[in-house]
Amino acid sequence: MRNPLDFVRTRTVRIGVTGLARAGKTVLLSALASVLLAPEALGGKVLRARVAESGVEDIPRFDFGAHLKALAADPPRWPERTDAVSLLALELDVASGMGLPERTIRVELLDYPGEWLLDLPMLGQSFAEWSEAMWGRLDEPRLLEVTRGFLAFARGLPVGAEADDVLAATGHRLYVEMMRRLRAECGLSLLQPGRFLMPGPGGAPPWMSFFPLVGASGLSDLMRRRFEAYKEAMRESLVSPMFGQVDRLIVLADLLGALHTGPEIFADMQAALLAASGSLRWQGGWMASLAALAQLRLPPRVIRRVAYVASKADHVSERQRGNLAALMGALTQTPSRIGFGKNAPDQASFAVAASRCTEDFVWTLEGHPVSAVRGRLLGEERMSRFYPGEVPDRPPGAEFWAHPFLSMPVFEPARLRLGTREPVPNIGLNDLLTFLLGDLL
């Protein structure tokens, strides 16, 4: 039920926009803002919209204008990837209905690092459990080329190594370097702690220098204490003005890219999405609130709506986009959500293209018509045709990987005309925003 005061005061809703690496988060956030700022947005439910002042927030402003200029350049180019938390506030005038005056809604779009979201499962782990899990992954044969240096250091430590800041700093440096290479060279998504890859504002405190270590020793005990300090800092961030005020959440992932890369990378992305969806368990239930209060901590606010979004839907034809959304839904429906009842956040899965850069057409391949797309590859003048294959509507089995996707091209974005208030050409953003804001409109 709406609070009657909502009709006379400005309601603020903060949408966290987060996602896995290389999913297109910066473009999505820019396109969402352009859709809301367009005349008669969301089918005319938004009467007027404007960029709001930042107010007293100490979060840096999302550079919306610079990103739109990149899409409007000649030739158009993709905006630079953002590497820090930022926020863009919009004010929307909406009709109240029932003859009541218009209402103003302040919508805050928070660019939130996906790496931080993937840290939340660590809250339920001990240092020993987390270390065992990390070492199990790092020992995979396909990763040894990258992980060998860190593993050699950790295994070469003397039995019963004493707590030592030099050893801790060396192990931490090797671990972070390895994480960066695992993301850049191996395409892994589920890398913890995420703040090692995307540090928060300000200098890193001394307890950030830790790494996974198995066995009992003075050094291991030091790592355990720093691990616990890290978890406590995460708990504090859940009720901080930055993340604690998030009311709705978008989790973005490039499923098509993972399907193309192969079964190992797809399995890693699946694990990352399961971790992201499962980690939202802290949002619901009175037991979690009681536990927080017993420790003299405020319980975090409830995230009311969560949208799991598969990006780059313009890389497949219209008839395949339903499968892409269904696949995202299959990857994020976890057993941990059962039993939440009415306290569970509403959730839905979508397939979108934040900046549409292709058009659908029918292509004849080996004498058979197939639904394909065509667009201009980045840096090229001519249009190219593209058919990646069939998108599965559930996690694929061995038969799918026997005939993998073709290469995933990088298309040039559609040209945006500045000064016209036209939204960025897109697929599915109206539906996504209607889901996130429908109860307020």
- Give pLDDT tens digits for 195-247: 999 887 767 888 899 999 998 999 999 999 999 999 998 888 766 666 778 88
HSE of 13, CA atoms in CB hemisphere, 13 A: 21
**Cβ neighbour number for residue 91 with a 10 Å cutoff:** 17
Hey, is 210 helix, strand or coil?
Answer: coil
Query: Measuring CA to CA, which residue among 329, 76, 85, 114 is closest to residue 201?
Result: 85
pLDDT at 341 over 70: no
pLDDT in tens, 23-45: 899 999 999 999 999 998 998 99
Contact 250, 432 (CB under 8 A): yes
Positive or negative CA dihedral for 34, 40, 41, 45?
positive
Q: What is the pLDDT of residue 5?
A: 52
Q: Lowest mean pLDDT: which of 58-67, 284-293, 414-423?
A: 284-293
Helix (H) or strand (E) holding 19, with range, is strand 11-19
Contact 89, 51 (CB under 8 A): yes
DSSP string, 236-259: HHHTSTTTTT--EEEEEE-HHHHH
Residue 245: the pLDDT is 81
Beta strands in 233-335 (DSSP E): 248-253, 305-310
Of 102-111, 166-175, 233-242, 329-338, the least confident: 329-338
**Structural tokens at position 365:** 């391949």
Its pTM stands at 0.87
Tell me the pLDDT band of 270, cut-offs 50, 70 and 90. Answer: very high
Angle, to 10 degrees, between the axis of helix 218-238 and the axis of helix 127-138? 100
The string of DSSP codes covering 356-388 is: ---EEEEEEETTEEEEEEEEEBTT-SSEEEE--
Do 352 and 311 contact (CB within 8 A), yes or no?
A: yes
Place of tokens 């209060």: 293
Query: How large a percentage of the chain has pLDDT more than 70?
Result: 87
Q: Is the dihedral of CA 235, 116, 243, 334 positive or negative?
A: negative
CA 253, CA 218: separation in Å to the nearest integer?
Answer: 40
Higher-pLDDT residue of 382 and 241 is: 382
Q: pLDDT band for position 123 (50/70/90)?
A: confident
Nearest C-alpha neighbor of 430 from the set 315, 373, 319, 353:
353
- Identify which of 279, 128, 257 has the alpha carbon closest to the alpha carbon of residue 194: 279
Q: Is the pLDDT of residue 284 over 60?
A: no
List of domains in the chain: 4-112+242-355+414-440 (3.40.50), 122-236 (no CATH), 359-401 (no CATH)
Lowest mean pLDDT among 23-27, 165-169, 284-288, 420-424: 284-288
97 or 281: which carries more pLDDT confidence? 97
pLDDT of residue 181: 95
Q: What is the mean pLDDT of residues 298-307?
A: 74
Q: Choose the most confident range, by mean pLDDT, from 4-18, 23-37, 61-75.
A: 23-37
Q: What is the pLDDT of residue 239?
A: 64
246 DSSP 8-state letter: -
Residue 345: CB atoms within 10 A of its CB come to 17
Residue 58: predicted pLDDT: 75
> What's the pLDDT at 283?
46
> Quick one: average pLDDT of 103-125?
89
Confidence band for 282, pLDDT divided at 50, 70 and 90: very low
Predicted confidence (pLDDT) at residue 60 exceeds the cutoff of 70: yes
Q: Which two tokens stand for residue 399?
A: 């038969």
Q: What does the pLDDT read at residue 313?
A: 94
Q: Alpha-carbon distance 390 to 323, whole Å?
A: 9
Report the SS3 class of residue 433: helix
